[in-house]
Amino acid sequence: MSSEKATFGAGCFWGVEAAFRRIKGVSNTAVGYAGGHLENPSYEAVCTDRTGHAEVVQVEYDPAQVSYEQLLNVFWENHNPTQVNRQGPDVGTQYRTVIFYHSPEQKAAAEASKAQLESSGRYSRPIATAIEPAPQFYRAEEYHQQYLEKRGLASCHL
């Protein structure tokens, strides 16, 4: 099995991780932090809204079983991409909507997907999702990994 990585920020990482874990072809997920300036950030540091990091899910997947475009669809369906630095009651830059691409092909697919969503008329406000090169990923503390699954919950508040 070949494996590729995809990294998405779509608000609180607990529910986002749970959504990706259900996808056939996803072999692993990890929640963490990316896109900021502090090395090895903690959850507490990220929550200060001063590190620049987003809460993200890093997805390992088999492209023979699930396409990056399918993962993008999961991303779009599991948050409101028009909200800037928030999702639902969660507010701060760590909750921003962002796609961190790992290859030129992922960048092109993400841009095309975003453009298609923008032209669909589904939202009355512009899509706020940033598309950026994948920076260093910092795995979150163990108690955040598969948080909802460990507690017998299916989803977050979204």
Is 12 marked active-site?
A: yes
Q: Residues 43-82: pLDDT tens digits?
A: 999 999 999 999 999 999 999 999 999 999 999 999 999 9
Cα 70 to Cα 106: distance, rounded to the nearest angstrom: 12
Cα 38 to Cα 81: distance, rounded to the nearest angstrom: 25
Residue ranges with strand state E in the chain: 4-10, 26-34, 54-61, 86-87, 90-91, 97-101, 130-133, 137-139
pLDDT of residue 145: 81
Higher model confidence: residue 151 or residue 9?
9
What burial class does residue 2 get, using C-beta atoms within 10 Å of its C-beta: 0-12 exposed, 13-18 middle, 19+ buried?
exposed
pTM score, whole prediction = 0.92
Catalytic residue among 12, 66, 71, 156: 12
**Assigned fold of 4-150:** Peptide Methionine Sulfoxide Reductase; Chain A (3.30.1060)
Residue 158 pLDDT grade (very low, low, confident, very high; cuts 50, 70, 90): very low
Cα 26 to Cα 23: distance, rounded to the nearest angstrom: 6
